[in-house]
Amino acid sequence: MNSLSLNVLAVSIFSITMLALVGPIIDLSPVVPASIAFGALGLVTIDTLGFDGQGTLVFLDWLGDTTSDRRERVIRHEAGHFLVACLLDIPVSDYTLSAWEAVQRGQRGRGGVQFDDRELREQLQRGTISAPTLDRYAKVWMAGIAAEQLHFDRAVGGDDDRAQLRQLFRQLRPAISDFSQRERLAVFQAKTLIEVHRDTYNALVEAMTQSCSVEACRLTVTRGGEMGR
């Protein structure tokens, strides 16, 4: 069972326990919390074993999407990834803005920008990664955090991005141990790219808000680059 499902289950058990304690005071039958507990355990188990916790992600995304602020934060985060990937010539194949969109596209997780990492995987298989390749992908992974910090002053998302980058650092030989310093550098470099191309980034945010295609979003970046030259 993944950590997210465990956390949801823990919160559910706590809530049901409190309901069981308060139930006698409000004349609530003990059958009610017992039934809820059985149902919650069953759903979480089925979701974890059959769908790798994707249903939990969809449910939490649905709850979170009731606020426009969260939606804007997600779009700005993913636009950061998209922009920096395009600027660094890393092809973007798709993007989704919620776990439900990811399910519809046959993807796992909360969604996000899907980019071509063949160059990175090929170098990993050979047992060595060039410094330019490492820097490029590090900036792309940290670009979502950088975009949030620029617009909201702090980043809420990005845990998965950090986890991917740290996993890459561990695979290197010799492995990189100063995670925090390398992450801060990548965030700073991504911020610089976004700030230099601020108008293009804002246009990309608007395009992704309108759920434009990958090609249309890529064209937005290309046109922005042409106007900036």
pLDDT at 4 over 80: no
191 inside domain: yes
- Is residue 217 within 8 Å of 94, Cβ to Cβ? no
What total number of domains does the chain contain?
Answer: 2
Task: Please check whether residues 133 and 109 belong to one and the same domain.
Answer: yes
Task: Please check whether residues 136 and 173 belong to one and the same domain.
Answer: yes
At 192, which amino acid appears? Answer: T
Task: Please check whether residues 20 and 95 belong to one and the same domain.
Answer: no
CA nearest to 79, candidates 215, 203, 170, 187: 203
Question: What is the per-residue DSSP string for 35-83?
Answer: HHHHHHHHHHHHHHHHHTTHHHHHHHHHHHTTSHHHHHHHHHHHHHHHH
Q: What's the CATH code of the domain at 153?
A: 1.20.58.760
Task: Please check whether residues 73 and 149 belong to one and the same domain.
Answer: yes
pLDDT per position as a tens digit, 64-123? 554 557 889 989 999 999 999 999 999 999 998 876 676 666 665 567 899 888 888 888
Residue 143 lies in domain: 68-228
63 inside domain: no
Task: Please check whether residues 210 and 132 belong to one and the same domain.
Answer: yes
Global confidence as pTM: 0.71
Task: Please check whether residues 32 and 112 belong to one and the same domain.
Answer: no
